[in-house]
Structure 1
């Protein structure tokens, strides 16, 4: 039976340990599962023969908790957890969150803001000059000078602010193994400056061991937004393990040097990491606190791939995992699913066989393997590259093999289907089997918006592609007698989205009979191209200006327009329509979003705009009787009717009564 790694001095003594090699600190609860980064790194080190202890969510108000297990022999590895600590704590509106799925009992506040920096300070208090390596998503996305949404300013590289010795970025298995090997050979941490996938501080740019490019300094990007945009684009373009160069950025008298990215693990290596002896559960010390909610989404799910060449500009994946796809072997995934069928809580359903993007199983094209991904060309948007290899046959074969395993009732795909990529596969077998076997009532996809200009800023395909997908999806459901729906993820207030664009999105939702229960407002996370647009007002790909909705009230209006039927949103929607010059959408026609208030006439079309909507005086209602004139007619808002109409689709059974949660 697999054991958790020790989390206290008492547990080390039970193992007969009176010393250990590495302390792994995490801002999440200790969940020993291969979807938790600190668990992966801990098990990778253990597999290399090192003694590893885990310190999860320590009390950061003093150094006592950090010193409690004693000084590790070789070093400390530190992560804020699976997500950035500021994202974990605050909404896009900068309001404090009330829960945290990565903490026991869903309790918020069990880690500090800017956890990597705070934990690093406590490690230095506890162990002074011990080798300190920071990693995880928070460190990875903040490795350069970066715009910080919560302080609304450019901050220094987190390597500078934490005063760590090294920073590992991306998926850190290769870098961690190499660092540990050299520390075990008594090599000073100050000399470990040539490991790919790491950053270090130096007194000279000449300390870099690789071909390099220097971007504008912290001081320059902090005062000049154009310099920031130029630097951000270079940082993004060079994040390629084949053609990428090292990046140098001066911070005062020191230089942050980011070595080129490490190569992704190959299939055999990825299999080995996925099949390390994880317990696959939260540590039992959390049982009395209600467990750790984050495990519920992944306990009966399988990650079969890494990386994403989708290149959505608002997504951090390209800047962290990278755009090169690697995948596990069929045999490895089958072994994992067979193991899950023996779990006492397993009921026959695998919730997901996915990853960053579920239907990516191989690199986007053969050229990528030799030359890396193209600098100035995205694989899928705004149109697919002619070299794109959209073959789904390997993924389809894997799913068929998994469905045949005894004890399996259903294999679902929930982690995201790239619908534009799927449409490029001229063989329709995968699409057909997706509909027949792998949808749990609702398929979640991400068109994000309906205005093509906004979608271009997002790095997403044009809306016509989504509509083509939706039509084919509906036809297949009808063909196979399925009652399954599409839940489209949508985003408000992305850079490039004007109030007029937000109105068009509301019109599109009204036309398609959709209104989302949850709306994702754009969240400027560190490092992404969209965050660069948000801060600078410049599209770094073209260096052209871009409109950015930053005023909280304007953003609230954009958000409200996507939920125009909600009574509490009416004042904001009314204000937005008037501000956008779209009073024609206040009336009685089916195209209208709002009904007039008592005593007010329906909004007429603005100058030069064709009249929108039917239902004007003299037209007949469904019952054949003439409709009353609009002027002066009081129309009560029927809240229960609005609630019935607010769903994605009319439910016909309890299991389809509510859509799934948003992102």
Structure 2
């Protein structure tokens, strides 16, 4: 079969009386393995289930939701690849003008809080049909969570939506097991023991079992310290080896999170990425301009999952987990050969990556038996753990074989290199070949900030690691005779960042001759440690107070300082420097960040003339 059916007529043509499952998504239907909807639907198809796709249904009527009738076993609901609120709004809470996951970049094709809206609509129409929610939006909102757009604590999305089950993390294994149990006739209400899932039961029916008890919904709404404690407990249990059951009371119900589902084994991961994807968007979108999101991934290869870097502002650790799982070399090469057969292939593989491109192995040997460390301990920050194992040899071998394939001109790495990991490798072979073969003019890396206080709040290594990397990078570029650049990702207004810290990073950028084209304001998305800091003003692991830039004015000044060289930012930079007590950096000297404004220059000229006038008057008076 090519694409999975999206209309009733297609289902009839296939001879189905009804689909087994209807997969509902807030994205357009793109049958590519970087889209969660495609993966889950193809995995279910592989196990023999009939799956129909309901992409971006009109939630204002029943029409789309009744398109296929009641599925035999249930609805699987997600908002798409990203949280629907992030898809719709900037960090300034302004409506975005484009949606790359919708045909023609159109906005407004999915609702705010898509998972809740879709699930409630389905339950209105088919109250007895099982509704299972999953994907990033459901995964990150599975507990009571701070919602930036409402500026308040919202309950678990499972209770908010009225769904029957929630799958969190990478959902292949739990979805297949849920499907098997429903197929066998088991009521959805009794499916309460599958790892990687959450369910809710009445408090009076809950039988105490060994579990981590989080502060309740009511407690975290009333007390920010309790919210910080809750966040810490939830983060610490997101490990498939040592993670325990977690519970959280919500009024007369209890949310129960089963321990995480173990990551797929390599053979299983290979199988997932080698399913018969069409590798593009559904042809019905062609007349609407296609789906722009495919452009970045059409000729990219995912080789790993998970990230032990675990930056505090990133949701990967809470969703995918920190454990690294990888595809085999043979599977990656098979996909690359498949890409070269596409009529659109021009000889360039755009990326061989994942959450972090250069992770192919666990960060240390003990993880298989003990899991990753709890208590907020990081593998790479503030300094690399003494047990850290660094090895790029397997990744390097894969890249070499990809470069040697017929029809392949270049192989790039665009999904992010952890420079702090790379710089710990005593063998620079990979580093040298990265510079020589895999950089398309500029390499994007993420130092994020430069002051140790802010970097500690971010869970990032200190800036010395970046400086060491930067020096080697340009050394190898020079040796290769290549004019290549570093593009630093920087974040303004992160918890812990004061105006003085923003001034410090502006001075750092000036000293290092770095001019970032884009700067990202910290965006408090659900499920991250940094968002907990933003809401509570506390570090959840120490419960110490953390400075939070809250006003739009201060955020604008911090952002402007990171692009102090842009003439449009001059007034804000001047205001920021004055507020930070650094007026000495306003002037024409090489050490200054910004020239005075015309008004300041005129005022200075007037002041000088007045001084000269007074001096002349005094001199004349003395002569007399």
TM-score (normalised: structure 2): 0.95
Match of 1:46 in 2: 45
> 2:469 aligns to what SS in structure 1?
helix
TM superposition shift of 1:590: 1.1
Match of 1:119 in 2: 118
Further displaced range: 369-378 or 309-318: 369-378
Q: Is the 8 A contact 1:8 1:69 kept in 2?
A: yes
TM superposition shift of 1:204: 3.7
> 1:539 aligns to what SS in structure 2?
coil
CA distance in 2, matches of 1:243, 1:603: 66
Match of 1:278 in 2: 277
CA distance in 1, matches of 2:245, 2:387: 28
> 1:176 aligns to what SS in structure 2?
helix
TM superposition shift of 1:127: 1.2
Q: Is the 8 A contact 1:5 1:52 kept in 2?
A: yes
CA distance in 2, matches of 1:545, 1:169: 31
Written as runs of structure 1 = structure 2, the 5 A alignment for 1:319-398 is: 319-376=318-375, 377-398=377-398
CA distance in 1, matches of 2:286, 2:599: 60
TM-aligned CA distance change 1:11 to 1:578, over 3 Å = same
Match of 1:223 in 2: 222
CA distance in 1, matches of 2:300, 2:397: 18
Match of 1:259 in 2: 258
Q: Is the 8 A contact 1:304 1:333 kept in 2?
A: yes
Q: Is the 8 A contact 1:229 1:540 kept in 2?
A: yes
CA distance in 1, matches of 2:121, 2:42: 24
CA distance in 2, matches of 1:396, 1:10: 48
Match of 2:510 in 1: 510
Written as runs of structure 1 = structure 2, the 5 A alignment for 1:156-171 is: 156-171=155-170
Cα deviation digits, residues 467-504 of structure 1 (max 9, x gap): 11000000000111111111000000000000110111
Match of 2:618 in 1: none
Q: Is the 8 A contact 1:205 1:255 kept in 2?
A: no
CA distance in 2, matches of 1:397, 1:602: 63
TM-aligned CA distance change 1:559 to 1:397, over 3 Å = same
Further displaced range: 510-519 or 301-310: 510-519
TM superposition shift of 1:599: 7.0
Are 1:95 and 2:80 counterparts? no
Number of aligned pairs? 609
Cα deviation digits, residues 361-400 of structure 1 (max 9, x gap): 1111110111000113210000001111111111111111
> 2:431 aligns to what SS in structure 1?
helix
Q: Is the 8 A contact 1:302 1:336 kept in 2?
A: yes
TM superposition shift of 1:582: 0.5
Further displaced range: 595-604 or 167-176: 595-604
CA distance in 1, matches of 2:580, 2:212: 45
TM-aligned CA distance change 1:603 to 1:497, over 3 Å = farther
Q: Is the 8 A contact 2:206 2:254 kept in 1?
A: no
CA distance in 2, matches of 1:600, 1:131: 67
Are 1:20 and 2:22 counterparts? no
Match of 1:247 in 2: 246
Match of 1:445 in 2: 445
> 1:220 aligns to what SS in structure 2?
helix
> 1:229 aligns to what SS in structure 2?
helix
TM superposition shift of 1:121: 1.1
Cα deviation digits, residues 554-590 of structure 1 (max 9, x gap): 1111111112232322221111111111000011111
Q: Is the 8 A contact 2:570 2:597 kept in 1?
A: no
Cα deviation digits, residues 1-46 of structure 1 (max 9, x gap): x500000101111212222200000000000000000110000100
Q: Which has the higher helix share?
A: 2
Written as runs of structure 1 = structure 2, the 5 A alignment for 1:212-611 is: 212-376=211-375, 377-598=377-598, 600=600
CA RMSD of aligned residues (A): 1.8
Q: Is the 8 A contact 2:301 2:336 kept in 1?
A: yes
TM-score (normalised: structure 1): 0.90
Cα deviation digits, residues 523-571 of structure 1 (max 9, x gap): 0000100000000000011110000001111111111111223232222
Q: Is the 8 A contact 2:158 2:199 kept in 1?
A: yes
CA distance in 2, matches of 1:188, 1:595: 70
Match of 1:211 in 2: 210
CA distance in 1, matches of 2:161, 2:65: 16
> 1:386 aligns to what SS in structure 2?
coil
Q: Is the 8 A contact 2:142 2:156 kept in 1?
A: yes
TM superposition shift of 1:208: 7.2
CA distance in 1, matches of 2:270, 2:206: 35
Show structure 2 runs of 5+ residues with no match. 610-624
Q: Is the 8 A contact 2:586 2:593 kept in 1?
A: yes
Cα deviation digits, residues 222-241 of structure 1 (max 9, x gap): 11000000010010000000
Cα deviation digits, residues 150-196 of structure 1 (max 9, x gap): 00000000001001000000000010010000000000000000000
Cα deviation digits, residues 63-122 of structure 1 (max 9, x gap): 221011111001100000000000000001111000000000000111000000000111
TM-aligned CA distance change 1:207 to 1:325, over 3 Å = farther
TM-aligned CA distance change 1:599 to 1:104, over 3 Å = closer
